[in-house]
């Protein structure tokens, strides 16, 4: 074998090793649970009267959640957080829900917060979500009174749940059309389609959902392009609304009060 042949063999070998490592390390690339665990009830400003609970899966894993009731309503936000942080980092969502007179349940995917286990495949996140949905069913909350609200990667999980339970309404905040589309350009060039264990094909799934859809996105989002929010909105079936906001990827709550009326109006209207 000549020099060129050896060089090609070496390059090919390095490529195979690289994509093999990438395949088996996708979880560490995608999911970033915080190393410090904080009890959500110990965070300043959090309603201490909520219900801290664990939902046990058939596999024995336990999914941790926090439910904050409201005395005069059954309307409930089921909040799906993104790939980084846990429910303690999203405690501000409780005040958001309370200001709209909504109940809220926040929960951590396996491996996040006080939930046990770790994510091994995309369907794990849906299994965790179904356990929390079942918790709401056990509380007797009407399906039509539930709002699936997902931020970033959580938007993809919320879309899957909305397709499964179309009686609920759907809010997609700062999310993507699918996971490969927001991968670095160099990665998309070297990684064949079969390599992606996690695709979160939100755009395709959203076309199957016929309930109320609110898409929220900011042109200033530095993580997920504003154009993806518009594509999700264009894909969604009616009734739907697009809300263009201010701020960066994780700063929606800082501007929430400016958009609260529009959000409440959309969620309150029964189609």
Measured from the Cβ of residue 184, the count of other Cβ atoms closer than 10 Å reads: 8
Q: What is the 3-state secondary structure (H, E, C) of 228-262?
A: HHHHHHHHCCCCEEEEECCCCCCCHHHHHHHHHHH
Nearest to 267 by CA among 62, 101, 132: 101
Q: How far apart are the first and last CA of the chain?
A: 71
Instruction: Please report, to the nearest 10 degrees, the dihedral formed by the alpha carbons of residues 114, 117, 122, 126 taken in order.
Output: -50
Q: What tens digit of pLDDT does each residue of 103-121 get? A: 999 999 999 999 999 999 9
Q: What tens digit of pLDDT does each residue of 224-235 get? A: 999 999 999 999
Q: Please report the pLDDT score of residue 221 as a whole number.
A: 98
Q: What tens digit of pLDDT does each residue of 153-199 get? A: 999 999 999 999 999 999 999 999 999 999 877 666 666 666 788 99
d(Cα 107, Cα 186) in Å, to the nearest integer? Answer: 34
Q: Please report the pLDDT score of residue 142 as a whole number.
A: 97
pTM: predicted TM-score of the whole model, two decimal places:
0.91
Tokens 């349940």 label which residue? Answer: 105
Q: Which tokens sit at 79?
A: 């909040």
- Least confident piece of the model among 4-8, 70-74, 216-220, 264-268: 4-8
The CA-based angle 189-227-112, given to 5 degrees, is 75
Q: Please report the pLDDT score of residue 269 as a whole number.
A: 77
Q: Please report the pLDDT score of residue 55 as a whole number.
A: 96
pLDDT above 70: percentage of residues in the chain: 87
Whether residue 270 has pLDDT greater than 60: no
Q: What tens digit of pLDDT does each residue of 122-152 get? A: 999 999 999 999 999 999 999 999 999 999 9
User: For residues 148 and 133, is the Cβ–Cβ distance under 8 A?
Assistant: no
Q: Please report the pLDDT score of residue 37 as a whole number.
A: 87
pLDDT (average), residues 37-51: 82
């Amino acid at each position: 074998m000549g020099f060129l042949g050896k060089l090609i063999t070496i390059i090919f070998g390095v490529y195979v090793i690289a994509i093999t490592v990438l395949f088996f390390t996708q979880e560490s690339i995608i999911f970033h649970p915080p190393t410090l665990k904080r009890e959500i009830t110990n965070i300043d400003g959090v309603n201490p009267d909520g219900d801290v609970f664990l939902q046990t899966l058939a596999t024995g894993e336990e999914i941790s959640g926090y439910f904050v009731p409201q005395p005069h309503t059954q309307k409930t936000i089921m909040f799906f957080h993104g790939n980084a942080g846990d429910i303690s980092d999203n405690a501000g969502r409780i005040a958001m829900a309370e200001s709209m007179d909504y109940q809220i349940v926040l929960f951590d995917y396996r491996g996040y917060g006080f939930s046990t286990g770790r994510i091994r495949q995309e369907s794990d996140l849906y299994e965790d979500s179904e356990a929390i949905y079942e918790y709401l069913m056990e509380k007797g909350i009407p399906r039509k009174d539930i709002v699936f609200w997902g931020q970033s990667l959580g938007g993809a999980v919320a879309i899957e749940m909305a397709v499964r339970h179309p009686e609920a309404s759907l809010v997609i905040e700062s999310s993507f059309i699918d996971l490969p589309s927001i991968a670095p350009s160099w990665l998309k060039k070297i990684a064949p389609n079969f390599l992606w264990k996690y695709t979160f094909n939100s755009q395709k799934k959203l076309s199957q959902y016929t309930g109320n859809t609110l898409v929220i996105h900011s042109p200033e989002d530095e993580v997920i392009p504003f154009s993806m929010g518009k594509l999700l909105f264009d894909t969604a079936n009616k009734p739907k609304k697009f809300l263009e906001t201010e701020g960066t990827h994780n700063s929606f709550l800082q501007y929430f009060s400016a958009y609260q009326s529009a959000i409440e109006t959309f969620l309150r209207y029964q189609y």
